[in-house]
Amino acid sequence: MPSKSGQRTSGISRWMMFVLASACGLIAANLYYSQTLVGPIRDALNLSSSAAGLIVTVTQIGYVLGLLFIVPLSDLIENRRLSVGMLLLAVAALLTSAFVSNAPLFLLASLFIGIGSVVAQILVPFAAYLSTEEQRGAVVGNVMSGLLLGIMLARPVASFITSVWGWRAIFILSAVVIALLTIVLAYVLPERKPASNVRYGKLILSLGTLLRQTPILRRRALYQACLFGAFSLFWTVVPMHLSDEFGMSQQGIAWFALVGVGGAIAAPIAGRLADRGLGKVITGVAILVAALSFMLIHFYDSHSTAALILLYIAAFTLDMAVSGNLVIGQRAIYSLGNEARGRLNGLFMSIFFAGGAIGSSLGGWAYTEGGWGLASLIGTVLPVFALVYYFTELHILKGNKAKSGIS
């Protein structure tokens, strides 16, 4: 139950944490199923190679639109009702994607899959709301590990199912799963009616004010945008690199993608360390690990077995860095206040997803123009930029300590 100050006093049960983590993973996976299925979908819908890129891009655009215009509603509308409504939209869009035979309608359905999938970003702050201050980092870490597992498993799962039943099967299966999940959430989620009486238009306009007046949000969003940009670049380019340079089949690439799943273990660990006051240290470690991951595979570029092993290691460590830093960032912004939590989360996620979109675009362009060498160089620069920015935070903290007389 919440106290008079708005903080929870009893905390969240393990069962509820498991439900929310599973829900976030299953919902977020919808954004990534199509990434490894661009080829068969393109052929089935008679899309050109250049237009086929829209299959993934349109879904991401829908997600960003949802982050900016739907997630803020969680500060205004009862959260359970909002979540159920958006999940029903996602189910309808998934079924449409599975049965349409023309490209425009498929792309429109993809847009709404992205919009409906923002429920994941309503449930994460919901979990933070249900938790006590002392357990918030661990709770967010556990829920985010579920979300990240969904993201990382989506690619190999989609590839394996497509190889057996065809690409439409993954959309049908996901529609059934999300429909069942909607029923479960409708029954188990407690009500959460925000106290805010602000009108929707004013709520959206307040996003700019929040971004301007919240330096920690800007800083955490930029850190994650750089790391997620490198992450997206890696997973956009590495399937082509593995196929072109190492002769891997689609199934082999799916197995490679499973390596990244292990990186999700960093999320709950980072959350617990943040609860102990080590958030800033873990942030620096995560950014450094991301930079070193790309640096190794950039300078050791060959067709050897050793180079392939380094790619496997980089897939694991890069995913660890991204997932760990994400949890630290979300814990930091969730500590800023209950009533603006949905808007803060929407801004944070939309900024770092924009970084991911930029990373994907740069990766595709770089691989076409300069191969793996240019792509991995850009992938190295992105976390290095975040690391330079991180040092400015340490400088500010040192200056504040000096002014207060703390040694």
Per-residue model confidence as pLDDT tens digits over 198-229: 788 888 888 888 889 889 999 999 999 999 98
Determine the structural domain holding residue 381 and report its residue range: 14-404
Task: Give me the percent of the chain exceeding a pLDDT of 90.
Answer: 35
pLDDT level of residue 403 (50, 70, 90 thresholds) = very low
Within-domain flag for 51: yes
d(CA 362, CA 355) in angstroms, rounded, equals 10
Q: Which residue from 221, 217, 230 is spatially nearest to 321, judged by alpha carbons? A: 230
Within-domain flag for 2: no
When divided into structural domains, the chain yields a total of: 1
Overall residue count recorded for the chain in this entry? 407
| Amino acid residing at 44 | A
| Angle (deg, nearest 10), helices 54-69 and 38-45 | 100
d(CA 296, CA 379) in angstroms, rounded, equals 11
Query: In Å, what is the CA distance from 116 to each residue of 66, 99, 173?
Result: 7, 18, 16
Q: What is the pLDDT of residue 3?
A: 45
Residue 371 has pLDDT above 50, yes or no: yes
Residue 404 has pLDDT above 80, yes or no: no
Q: What is the pLDDT of residue 300?
A: 80
Per-residue model confidence as pLDDT tens digits over 43-79: 889 876 556 667 777 888 899 899 889 988 888 889 9
Within-domain flag for 400: yes
d(CA 313, CA 322) in angstroms, rounded, equals 14
d(CA 275, CA 328) in angstroms, rounded, equals 9
Q: What is the pLDDT of residue 139?
A: 85
Within-domain flag for 365: yes
Per-residue model confidence as pLDDT tens digits over 166-205: 899 999 999 999 999 999 999 999 988 887 677 888 888 8
Within-domain flag for 4: no
Query: What CATH number is given to the structural domain containing 302?
Result: 1.20.1250.20
pLDDT level of residue 5 (50, 70, 90 thresholds) = very low
DSSP 335-373: TT-STTHHHHHHHHHHHHHHHHHHHHHHHHHHHHHHHHH
Q: Which two tokens stand for residue 65?
A: 């639109």
Per-residue model confidence as pLDDT tens digits over 318-361: 988 988 898 888 888 877 766 677 788 788 888 888 888 788 77
d(CA 387, CA 384) in angstroms, rounded, equals 5
Q: What is the pLDDT of residue 224?
A: 94
Within-domain flag for 9: no
Within-domain flag for 56: yes
Q: What is the pLDDT of residue 142?
A: 83
Within-domain flag for 3: no
Rg, the chain, Cα only: 21
Tell me what the mean pLDDT of segment 143-163 comes to.
Answer: 84
Per-residue model confidence as pLDDT tens digits over 101-143: 899 999 999 999 999 999 998 998 888 888 887 777 788 778 8
Residue 7 has pLDDT above 60, yes or no: no
